[in-house]
Structure 1
C-alpha cells in the first residue's frame, strides 16, 4: 500500500513538473506580467491537467455521458503535452544558437551608428545648431539582451506549439478516419493445398468508449466486409466500459460477413468492466467467443484463449483445455490478445498466433517502451516453429491519436507449402 502511494505521488509530481515547465516556456517567458495572454495561459495550464486526470479515472467514477465531456479535451491534452515537451526540449538545444545569431545580426547595425562626438563636430563645422541634449537611454549589449531572449523564447515556443498541434492533429485524423487494410501472407507447413489462399481478417483493440463509438464500429465492419474474408478474428480489447453503456456502439458487429464466421477472444480491457457480459453479448451478435476453446474448421484448427488479464478473476488462459487433445497433424491458428503468450503457444505446437494489445506503441516514442514489455510490437515474426503476427489495432486507448503507428485491419492470407 505504501509503495503504491509513493508511486502515485511520484507520477503526480512528474506530471506537475511537466506542466510547470510548459507554463514557464509557453507562458511566462513569452509574456509580460498581468497581461491577458499570461492570465489565460496560466488558467489553461491549470485546467487542462485536471481534465486529463478526470479522463483517466472517469470510467470508474462517472457514467459514459459525463465522461464524454472531459474525455476529448483531457485525452487530447495528454498527446499535445507529450509532443510539446519533446519539441520544447529540442528547442533548449537550439536556444544558444538562436541567441548567437541574434547578437551577430545586431552587431553590424550598432557599428553603423555615428558616434555622438563625430555628430557634434560635423554640426559645428557646418554652422548648424547643436542638437538638444537628451537623457542617456540604456544601450549596449546588456540592454539588448532581454529583448533578444524574449524574441528567441517566442520563436521556440511558437515552433513547439505548431509542431505539437500538427503532429496531434494528423494523428487524430488517422484514428477518426478509420483503420487501413494491411495484407500479410503467412506460409504454414501443415496447411493443405486446398486451403492455399485462405484469408483471415484480423482486428484488435477497437476500444469502444467515451470517444470511439458506433460510427467507429461501423467503419471497421464496412472495411472488413469489403475485403471479403473467409474468417474474421476479433482479438480482444473491444471495449472500455459495460454492456449497458457500450452495447449499442458494438451492435454493428452483427453485420460482419465471412464464409466461416467471426470469432472473438477477450483482451485485458474486457476484464475491467466484466468480461462475462461481453462474451454473452457478442455471442448474441453472431460473433463466436472462444474461451479457452477450439473449433475444427475444414482445413485447420482455430483456437482461442482468454487474456492473462482474467487470471486474477479465475478466467485466465488455459492452453491445455484449448489445445491438448487436438490432432497435431493439422495446422493450428491461435487467437490470443497479448503477444507475451507466444512461448506457451510454442510449447503447445501452435503454427500461427494472432495477437494485438501493443497498438504498435500508438504514440512515438512509445514503441520503444512497448518493445520492453512485448516480444513483438507489430508485424510477423517466428519463434521456433510458431509464427506470431501482431496487429497495431483498429482504435486507440486514451488519446484518440496515433503517431508512427497507424491503425490497421490485417488480412492474413494463409499459404500452403504444398501449393
Structure 2
C-alpha cells in the first residue's frame, strides 16, 4: 500500500512538473499548430520516458549496452528537469515586468507617431501657401520646403496587427532561453565536477581519548559512494584510486555504495580498485545500493580485488579496533547490521572506529561505546537544494559532529547516484587523522 501511494505521488509530481515545463518551454514559445510545437512536445514527452527506461533497465537486468545507451540522456535529464524548473520559477516575476517594459516602449513610439501626425496639417498648409506664392510669381520654392512627408502608416494610437502576440512570444522566449542557459550551465559544471576531475581531498583531525600515543597521527582515507555504474566506469575508479594513493594513508575505509549494477556488468569497471595502496590495507562495508545489485556476489568479488570486507565483524589493529556493520537495507534479506556481533566481547579500554554506511545508525554506535563512526550515504545532498531534504533524513549530512561520547564523520562521497552531476556538494575523499590526547 505504501509503495502504491508513493508511486502515485511520484508520478503525479513528475507529470505536473513536465506539464509546467511544456507550458513554459513549448506552448508559450511557439505558435499553435506549428512544426516547432509538435517537435518540442515530442521531446518533452520522450525524455522522461527515457529516464524511466534507464532506471528500469538497470534494476531489471537489461543488456548492459542498452543500459549505457539509455543512462546518458535519461539520467542527465533528471538534473535538467530540476534546474530548468527552478530557473523558470525564478523567471516568473520577470514576465510581467518585461511585458510592461515592452508596452511602455510601444506607447512611447505611438506618442512620437502621434506628434508627427499632429504636425502634418500645419506643414501641408505651409506647402500650399508656398505653391500659391510661386503661382503669383513669387520665385522658385526651395526643394526642402516643397517636399511633403509621407503620411504615417498607422494612426497615432494604433499598433501593427499581432503586436501583443509578438510581445508575449518575445517575453516567453527570452525567459525560456535564459532558463535553459542557466540550467545547462549548472548541470554542465556539476557534471564536470564528477566526470572531469578527481574528488577533492579533505583532511580532518579527530582526537580519541582512548587512542594510545603510538597511534597518534594514524591516517584513514575515507571513501564512500563511488557508485560504479553504466555511466561511471573504470576511468572513474582509477581516478579515485590515484587520488587516495597520493594521500599515502595508513588504512583505506570504503564505507558503502561502491556499485550500481551486477558483478557481471561492472567487474571491469571495478578492476582498478585492486590498485589501492596503504600500510594496513583497504576495508569495505556494504551500502544500500549493494543490496540493490547483489550484495553477496559483490562482497566476494571485492575480496578477490584484495579489499577486506567487514560484514558485522572487526579486526584489531595497532592502537584501536576497526569494526564494520552491514547496511540497514540488508535487513530485508536477513543480512542487516549486527552491532553486538561486530562490537561485542571486545576490550572496551581500546579505542574503536566503526564503518557504517548510513549516519542514522549513530545512536546504535553510541549505545555500543563506539568512539568514532565513519559514514557516507548522504552525498551532501548532491544536487542543491537536495541538502535540505538530506537534513530531514540524516542526523549529519556532512562533516564531523559529536553524539554523546561518540563522534560521527560523514563524507560527501566520491561519486554520484543517478545523474553524474553535483551542485553545491562537491565530491570528496577525506583523510581522517586520529589524534591521541596522550601525545
Deviations 1:87-131 (A, max 9, x none): 001111222222222233333322222353542342233136796
- 1:266-345 maps to which residues of 2 (within 5 A)? 266-345=286-365
> In structure 2, which of residues 208, 231, 234 is the aligned counterpart of residue 188 of structure 1?
208
Q: Is the counterpart of residue 354 in structure 1 residue 353 in structure 2?
A: no
1:232-262 C-alpha deviation (Å, 9 max, x unpaired) = 0000001111111111111111111000000
Aligned 8 A contact 1:123 1:130 in 2: no
Within 2, Cα distance between the matches of 1:77 and 1:99?
Answer: 31
Counterpart residue number, 1:68: 68
- CA distances 1:186-213 after superposition (whole Å, capped 9, x unpaired): 1111111111111000000011111001
Instruction: Tell me how far 1:36 sits from its aligned partner.
Output: 4.0
Q: Supply the distance in 2 between the matched residues of 1:122 and 1:136 (Cα, whole angstroms).
A: 18
The TM-score normalised by the length of structure 2 is 0.91
Deviations 1:269-294 (A, max 9, x none): 11112211111111111100001101
How many residues were matched structurally?
418
TM-score by length of 1: 0.95
Residue 31 of structure 1 corresponds to 30
Could you tell me which residue of structure 1 aligns to residue 139 of structure 2? Answer: none
Q: CA deviation at 1:228?
A: 0.5
State the secondary structure of the residue aligned to 2:283.
strand
1:365 positional shift:
0.4
Distance 1:228 1:145 in 2: 67
Q: What is residue 86 of structure 1 aligned with on the other side?
A: 86
The 5-angstrom pairing of residues 219-238 of structure 1 reads 219-238=239-258
* Contact 1:120–1:130 under 8 Å retained in 2: no
Structure-to-structure mapping, 1:63-212, within 5 angstroms: 63-113=63-113, 114=115, 116-127=117-128, 139-140=158-159, 144-176=163-195, 177-212=197-232
Of 130-139 and 200-209, more deviation after overlay is shown by 130-139
Judged with a 3 Å threshold, the aligned counterparts in structure 2 of structure 1 residues 37 and 137 are, in CA distance, closer, same or farther, namely farther
Task: Give the secondary structure class of the aligned counterpart of 1:27.
Answer: helix
Structure 2 SS opposite 1:125:
helix
**Structure 2 vs 1, CA of residues 122 and 205 (structure 1 numbering), >3 Å: closer, same or farther?**
same
Instruction: Please give the root-mean-square deviation of Cα atoms over the aligned residues, in Å.
Output: 2.0
- Kept in 2, the 8 Å contact 1:243–1:281? The answer is yes
- Give, in whole Å, the separation in 1 of the partners of 2:160 and 2:102: 11
Say yes or no: does 1:403 pair with 2:402: no
Classify the secondary structure of the residue corresponding to 1:364.
Answer: coil
Please list the CA deviations of residues 131-176 of structure 1 after superposition, one character each: whole Å capped at 9, or x if unmatched.
6797879925996433322222121111100000000000000001
Determine which structure has more spread, i.e. the larger CA radius of gyration. Answer: 2
**Contact 1:124-1:130 within 8 A present in 2 as well:** no
2-side partners of 1:97 and 1:203: how far apart?
49
Change (3 A) 1:98 1:133: closer
Query: 1:92, 1:85 → 2: CA distance?
Result: 11
Q: How far apart are the structure 2 equivalents of 1:330 and 1:133?
A: 95
Equivalent position of 1:241 in the other structure: 261
100 and 414 in structure 1: CA distance in 2 versus 1, 3 angstrom threshold:
same
Structure 2: segments with no counterpart, 5+ residues: 129-146
Mapping of residues 255-270 of structure 1, within 5 Å: 255-270=275-290
Paired position in structure 2 for 1:49: 48
- Other-structure match for 2:135: none
Gaps of 5+ in 1: none
